[in-house]
Structure 1
C-alpha cells in the first residue's frame, strides 16, 4: 500500500499495536473453539479469553463484576441492546443534539412502534451542553437519559460526573455512548452513576473491528436483543437469565476479543490521561495552522478548550467531499467527509446543508503528519 497519513481515528484507530496482532494469532491457533459449548481444552481456553477480556474492560471502566459487561460486535449493537431492551410504551427519554444515528434511529424507531417520547436537548455551536436544560427536560415518566460522552463531529465533551449526579437524583438511568471517549477519557461507571455504557473495541481501545460491549448495571434487566444458543441453560425454552449469557446469543468473535484485550492492556499501560494529552496537543497544533487558512471555518470547541482528538472544518470554496478527495489523491491524507451519521450535531453547528471534513488523530499520530495536513489545506486554498 502507498504511504498514508491516517487521520480517521474517530472511525477506526490504525495501526493497531503489535500486541493486538499477536493476541489474535495466538487465539486463532490455541483458542478458536466455541466458548461455553464444550469441556475440551480449546473450548476452555476460548472461555478464558472472553473472561480475560471482560476483566480487562472492567478494570478500565471501574466495573465491579466483569459479567456485567456484555460483549457485542460494535457500539451500535450495544446501544440497540440498551435502548430497545430497556424502554417500554409511554416512557420518556432525554437525549441531546450531538447524538449519533446509532442512538437517534433506535429512539425514533421506538417512538413509532412503542409510543415512547423523546426530547433532544440543544447544545451550543461548539457542542457544549447546558446541564440546566437537561434538568429542566425531566418529566414524571422520564426513565432514561442518553448522552454521547464526546461528539463525533465537534469533539466537545459532556461532564459526566455532573450529569450522572442529576440523573441519579431524578431517579432515571444514564446510558452513555462512549464511542469517542473510551480509552481516551477517564470513565468510572460507579463514580459517574452510569447505568449503561456502550463502547467500541476498534477505536480508542485499539482493538479490531467487530468488537465492542455494553456495561449493564446489576440493578438493570434488559430484554435481550437476540435469542438463541448460549451454551448455558440449553434445556430452557427462554433465553438464560444468567449474565452475560442472557445477552450473548450465538458464537462470539473470540479471536477479535483476544485482540481487544491486548488493545485495552496497551491503553492501560499508556494510560488514558497520556493518550488524551497527546491527542489534545495534536488537535491544538492542527487548529493553530488551519485557523490561518482563509475561507475555512473550524467546528467545535475553540482553541485551548477541552476536546477529544477531532477537528472538523468547512471550506467556503470547496465542498467537503471534494476537499477530502484532494487530500487523499494529491497528498495521501485520509480524512472523512460528509455528515458523520450525526445530522443533529450538524444542525447545531450550522452545517446541515454542507456537511464537513473531519480529521481525527490517535495515539500513533505524529506531529510531522499534522504539518503535512496543515500545508496541504493551505496549498489547496492558495
Structure 2
C-alpha cells in the first residue's frame, strides 16, 4: 500500500536521500521566516541573518571535510554545477586530463565538450568489473601537459571506492591538480581534503548530507584560482567590472539558495551527530545483507565489489531475461519499492560491465534503511524472478 503516493520503501538514496531529517524541514522554515532577505546585499537585520546562515553552513562543511578556511567553500546548486565549475574553470586549451572509465556524465560531458572546443586530450583509465583501478596505468598516463586528474570517489553504478589519497599524491607528484567527485561519498565516507591531497572537491547537498535538492558545493584549495563559471552581482566590489577577487564572492554570482542552505546545515549536523564512520558501517552492513540475498536468486547477476569488500551503499544488478526498467516499474507499482533502472548517467561504467544494451537495476540504501526494507525487496525480486 502506498502512503500519500510515495513508496513505502525508498531505495534510491544514490539519487537523492529521502525522507529528510525533521531538523531539515524546521531549519528551512525558520530561514524563510527569519532570514528571507538577500545575504551580503544589505546591512539590515534580516540580510545579516541570511549571511549568517551561509557562513554557519560553510563552517560546518569545513568541519566535515577538514577544510581550514570556510571561505574556500563555494555553494552551487548541485554536484554537476560544481564539477563544471572545477573542470571548465581550470583546464586550458591544449591541456591533458586523466579520468577513469567509471565517471558520471557530470565529469565526462564537460571533458568531451572541452575536447571538441578547446583541443583538450583525455585519457580514461580502465577499471575491472569490480570497479578497481590499476594505479600503475594511472602513473603511465601522465604527460608533460597533464593539468588535471579527476575521478569519482565512488562509482554510482558499481559502488566501488577509488583510492583517492593515492591518486591525489600521484597527481601532485606530477604537478597536476586533483579533483574529486564526492557525489556518492560525502556524508558516508570520511573525506579529509588535506590528507587526501584534494584540490577541488565537488559534493551534493541532497544525497548523503541529507539536505534538500538544489544544494551542493565546491571546495577550492587556497592555491587554486579558477575562472569563474558565472559573472554577475555579488554584493561586494560592485563598482568593478570584473568579478570580486575575494572568496567566496568571486565564485558566487547572483542570489543564493539561502533556504536550501539552511536545510543543508541541518542535514550536515545530523551527519556529524551520527558520524560518517557509523553511517558507513550501517550502509555497508545493509549492502552485505542485500548481496547475500541476491546471490541466492539464480538468474540475478550483481556488479561491483564482492561481498566483504569495501563499497558504498549501492548494489546494481540485472535479472536474466527481464528488462531492468520493467523490474523497477513492477517493484514500484506492485510492491511500493523505489529503485532506479537504466544507465544512471554513466555509460562508461556500463561499458565496463557489458550492460550498455540492458542497463541495470540499482538499489541504494540510506541512513534510515532497515533490514526489513532489504528483506521485502528480496522477497519481491524472488517473486518477479519466478514469472
Q: 1:230 aligns with which of 231, 234, 252?
A: 234
Alignment partner, residue 252 of structure 1: 256
Alignment partner, residue 326 of structure 1: 330
Alignment partner, residue 185 of structure 1: 189
Query: In structure 2, how many angstroms separate the alpha carbons of the residues matched to 1:321 and 1:367?
Result: 25
Q: 1:58 aligns with which of 59, 62, 65?
A: 62
Alignment partner, residue 242 of structure 1: 246
Show structure 1 runs of 4+ deviating over 6 A. Answer: none
Query: In structure 1, how many angstroms separate the alpha carbons of the residues matched to 2:253 and 2:263?
Result: 21
Alignment partner, residue 212 of structure 1: 216
Deviations 1:86-139 (A, max 9, x none): 010110000000100000000000111111110000000111111111111100
Per-residue deviation, 1:292: 0.8
Query: In structure 2, how many angstroms separate the alpha carbons of the residues matched to 1:190 and 1:273?
Result: 18
Alignment partner, residue 309 of structure 1: 313
SS of the equivalent of 1:381 reads helix
Q: 1:335 aligns with which of 321, 336, 339?
A: 339
Number of aligned residues: 382
1:363 aligns with 2:335: no
SS of the equivalent of 2:99 reads strand
Q: 1:29 aligns with which of 23, 26, 33?
A: 33
CA contact (8 A) 1:127 1:349 kept: no
Tell me the TM-score normalized by structure 2.
Answer: 0.98
Query: In structure 2, how many angstroms separate the alpha carbons of the residues matched to 1:206 and 1:178?
Result: 14
Per-residue deviation, 1:170: 1.2
Q: 1:103 aligns with which of 107, 113, 132?
A: 107
Tell me the TM-score normalized by structure 1.
Answer: 0.99
Deviations 1:177-236 (A, max 9, x none): 000000010100011110000000000000000000000011000011011000000000
Unmatched tracts of structure 2, length 5 or more:
none
Query: In structure 1, how many angstroms separate the alpha carbons of the residues matched to 2:49 and 2:107?
Result: 35
CA RMSD in angstroms comes to 0.7
Deviations 1:242-279 (A, max 9, x none): 11011110000000000001100110110000000000
Per-residue deviation, 1:79: 0.3
Deviations 1:162-186 (A, max 9, x none): 1111111111110000000000101
Per-residue deviation, 1:283: 0.4
Alignment partner, residue 262 of structure 1: 266
